[in-house]
Structure 1
Amino acid sequence: MSVTQQHLLDTYRALHLGSPVPPAPGIQDVRVVRELREQRRFLAGRPARGRTRQALCRWLHRRPRSSRRPASR
């Protein structure tokens, strides 16, 4: 059975069972390759870019939580 036939069968089943339709094969390939390349660069000690850099910036620059509760009136 080819990938296309399997996708059509999965789509048919999902429609009849009322579950979400699976994504078409090959749609996420470019994203996966970019993330793997980015992760490899990061682990090699090179500067992070894209999603890895955004996640690191969010993690490093998040605001500290206040230990006090605001005064209730």
Structure 2
Amino acid sequence: MGVDDIVNKGKQLFEQNRDKIDEALKSEKAEDVSDRFLDGAAEAVKKVVPEQHRAKVDETRANVDKHIGNE
């Protein structure tokens, strides 16, 4: 089995389970996990970027959060 076969199998599995994946991404558990991850990632980035860019980090974090979970 080559890389192309693996990629094609992954695409097939995704298409067959698209509804379940969408449901999982919009769940309360996904919201909790994503919030913790995004908060940690944003704080880590804000420690290394200049202060004038920290608001952009928060804005980016909020935009990503809109697409994961149920809030």
Q: TM bucket by the smaller chain?
A: under 0.3
Relative to the length of structure 1, the TM-score reads 0.26
In our comparison, the structure showing a higher alpha carbon Rg is 1
Higher relative contact order (CA 8 A, sep 6+): 2
Report the structure, 1 or 2, having the larger helix content: 2
Relative to the length of structure 2, the TM-score reads 0.26
